[in-house]
A and B are shown apart, each in its own frame.
Chain A
């Protein structure tokens, strides 16, 4: 394993940890969306790296582009939910989403 591989894997791991840490720490719906996006960026990095490693760069490029598209769809739906919550409650705090439990 060379230096570049270790650097890329470390970067991906850091991005995922950053995303998940943000997800746990914040109560803001918009920030949660951003956190998920940050973690997904690590995945695109990993897939691009995997394609470079096994020589299937065209395939991995197709994967990455598809992921970017799917990600946008999820982000749009999440933002729509945040807007609905904002219209109802006046803010985007997830601590208001506590009616269901048990």
Chain B
């Protein structure tokens, strides 16, 4: 591994810490002015670093690289590791953090300084989740991410924020109890919590001394991460947390945080650890399909812009998990690409909701209407994002959903694949309702002099829409590349 790459790998953990230090060492008046640019720099550098590491790995012909931050890479020592999937995820994190900071300029008032500190700690936690290779470090970074997001949701100290944050906190604490309980049972069997060691110990788990304890371990870990990712029977906290958070925070939260804390961890578990445990995949598939259908149905009746997006997130997270639970390469790749696409279009939609909130002061769709002419950029980018979510062909969301449904079909569960396909219609239904209420039709009274939001918000919706369209158009090339690699 070249020295340059080693240095770049250190930025993933080092840069957020550096930004927190810088933010707090500067004079308060200066920090108030430049804190948001620190966050934007961190986000952009992270995207660049992810692309650079990807290019270096590709050039060297490797698929993953191990590194450590402050300690030596000894035998059995805890280490960080990047592979292509974690690089994709690190890129997503950088993208969403940048969009969040661009949105923060107009929405946070005098809370920018605290927001920057917390968002950088959040970035640290999420990067940690993407890089770790053992289950206990995963828990530690989950808690860092969680604690930072609880505080960020209640940043304004308003009633709603406290309610959302407290619900999230309690559910997350219960999830932690489940996850750690499961880890304790797995630890009894394997004697280590490194991904590789646990996977090796589980390769013949049916013949273990106490299979009951191991099954308890699987179930507890699955339930814990399902709560963290907001899959349908465990979703109670998610819409409340998204709706009550300040606009910029809900961009980051809805765009990436719950996906990192829950879905990424579940993807890692299915891909790296529970490979030989088909029961795990079957339960996950059931949870995924329930989440897809019920999430979409619940979104139809909501009356708040952000709440519709929250239920839509639940439904889309179901698709990601459905792909992961198929146990095939196609499904996993579909899940990873849908992860990226979901981060793009859901962030776009949350940025749009922030723009609507800045321009009109509300996110209740009954009070809105006819904003298309007043806010052309927001209107068009939200239409693109919603078409991508519903899986309309040339856009990015179509391709990843297609891969996921093909993978589900190949497992033989035709009914589940059909149901997933059918739920796309519901996706289109609730988004059409949203578009019609908010953007189409005549302007409602009191909103005649609404103006398009300028600056960072507009810039981030344009950039994210460009990614959605561009990625969709380039997708066949990506599929050919993956086929060339023998992956699908």
Contact = CB atoms under 8 A, between A and B. Distances in A.
Given A74-B146, A88-B159, A97 B188 contact: no
Interface string A84-102: 1100110000100111111
A7 interface: no
Nearest to B188: A50
B147 A74 contact: yes
B439 to A, nearest CB: 22
Given A1-B210, A100-B239, A54 B191 contact: yes
A81 B154 contact: yes
Contact of A56 (B159, B165, B181, B191): B191
Contacts of B163: 97-100
B184 A50 contact: yes
Given A23-B174, A70-B140, A102-B307, A97 B181 contact: no
A16 B177 contact: yes
A43 B169 CA distance: 18
A49 B184 CA distance: 9
Interface string B123-163: 00000000000001001100100110011001001011011
A43 B180 contact: yes
**What's the dominant secondary structure at chain B's contact region?**
helix
A99 B302 contact: no
Contact of B177 (A39, A89, A101): A39
B166 A81 contact: yes
A95 to B, nearest CB: 11
A45 to B, nearest CB: 9
A97 B140 contact: no
Interface in A56-86: 56, 59-60, 63, 66-67, 70, 73-74, 77-78, 80-82, 84-85
Interface string B179-195: 01101110111111000
Interface residues on A, range: 35 or more
Contacts of A59: 192
B140 A36 contact: no
A76 to B, nearest CB: 9
A102 B302 CA distance: 7
B170 A84 contact: no
Contacts of A97: 159, 162-163, 166-167
A66 B169 CA distance: 19
Nearest to A47: B184
Contact of A43 (B157, B164, B184): B184
B389 interface: no
B285 to A, nearest CB: 27
13 contacts: A19-B177, A36-B177, A39-B177, A47-B180, A49-B184, A54-B188, A70-B143, A77-B147, A85-B166, A88-B162, A89-B159, A100-B240, A100-B244
Interface of A: 1, 16, 19-20, 23, 29, 32, 36, 39-40, 42-43, 46-47, 49-51, 53-56, 59-60, 63, 66-67, 70, 73-74, 77-78, 80-82, 84-85, 88-89, 94, 97-102
Given A78-B150, A102-B302, 7 more contacts: A36-B177, A46-B181, A66-B140, A67-B180, A77-B151, A78-B169, A97-B166
